Amino acid sequence: MTQRLNYAQLSPEHFKALMAFSNEIKKGSIEQSILDLVDIRASQLNGCTFCLDMHTKEATLHQERPLRIHHVAGWRDSTLFSPRERAALAWTEALTRLSDTGVSEELYDRVRGQLSDKEIVDLTFQIMSINAWNRVSVAMRAVPGSADKIYGLDKAGLA
């Protein structure tokens, strides 16, 4: 696969702004392990292999267990995720695949049972961020692994 356009070079101001937004979110109230799961799940749903590759390597560097990474796609049937992680993954799916009816009260109540109001908002911004990255990377056909050295992902040993 060949990348269509280099969005970082052609619109560096937008790239830097989105990168700053994404980095700021990571300072929020949601633990890194959930941020990794969310990034992986949204990237799976959006068919963004560039981001899926990147965030799998990041999760590996963050000491996430390989089996849990493999189970993200089938998290509902896996016993490897806590209720808090399940709530975050359900919220990710609902916001990534927005339906005509929005987010159900049942899901919102379930998420509120696991996360604080601040955490729900921080998680929502994280989901917004990964969906933005997925969309630009899919549209421009970003090549999986092409930024590994820039982001230190080659250290994950998954090449």
Q: Which domains does the chain carry? A: 11-154 (1.20.1290.10)
Per-residue pLDDT at 18 exceeds 90: yes
Q: pTM for the full model? A: 0.96
Phi, psi of 148, rounded to the nearest 5 degrees: -55, -50
Per-residue pLDDT at 159 exceeds 80: no
Q: List pLDDT tens digits, range 99-112.
A: 999 999 999 999 99
Q: List pLDDT tens digits, range 43-66.
A: 999 999 999 999 999 999 999 999
